[in-house]
Chain A
């Protein structure tokens, strides 16, 4: 059960857009649209931001969007705001044996 690969850190200025990648394999990201993304602020529980590759839960800003191409999923945040500074984790279903795998996390800094 190898973790999905995410960049350790990304940064952007307020108002800009950034994209966080999440690379898996044909056994997880590449085979299912069951990719989700989570935002975690320091000392807080994670929050679901995107599910089923590109769907947003109620209450999540439409500045957050998800996509997938092959074995790589992506989270894009447009119009960066200071409160977007947090850790972001991707997650994928990986079949009925492995079930779930997380990415290693990406620290987003809003400069």
Chain B
């Protein structure tokens, strides 16, 4: 059974940093691309970032380019999102999601339960 468990969320002041982690199990992690998707409570889904199986292809939504960095450690079956210079508008529930393929092809077949990031002074 695929399991994706996010951690690292919390309350942080504007301008500070936070690192999200996603522990994956139940599948061969390095066979699949991975994504971060966020959702403001009560609002829609927004793709944040994706990374291919070998980190050779990486993408970000425009609003986080230069501030967020996605990475993965295939030896540890883990996905990360380093979030710097956080803004109030980054407040959301952040989901880790597994692609159905090895490249960033946007079919997110499995999702974690999310970790809440709140940016506020």
Spell out A's residues near B (CB within 8 Å). 1, 3, 34, 36, 38, 40, 45-48, 51-52, 57, 89, 91-93, 96-105
Knowing A99-B50, A102-B44, A102-B46 are in contact, say whether A46-B111 is a contact too (CB < 8 A): yes
A101 touches B114 (CB 8 A): no
A100 touches B47 (CB 8 A): yes
Q: How far is the CB of A21 from chain B (nearest CB, A)?
A: 16
Knowing A1-B61, A101-B47, A102-B47 are in contact, say whether A34-B107 is a contact too (CB < 8 A): yes
A-B pair count, CB < 8 Å, reads: 69
Spell out B's residues near A (CB within 8 Å). 35, 37, 44-47, 50, 57, 59, 61-62, 95, 100, 104-114
Knowing A91-B47, A104-B44 are in contact, say whether A46-B108 is a contact too (CB < 8 A): yes
Of the candidates B35, B45, B62, the one whose C-beta lies within 8 Å of that of A1 is: B62
21 contacts between A and B (CB under 8 A): A1-B61, A34-B105, A34-B106, A36-B106, A36-B108, A38-B108, A40-B45, A45-B111, A45-B112, A45-B113, A48-B109, A89-B44, A96-B57, A97-B59, A99-B50, A100-B47, A100-B104, A101-B47, A102-B37, A102-B44, A103-B44
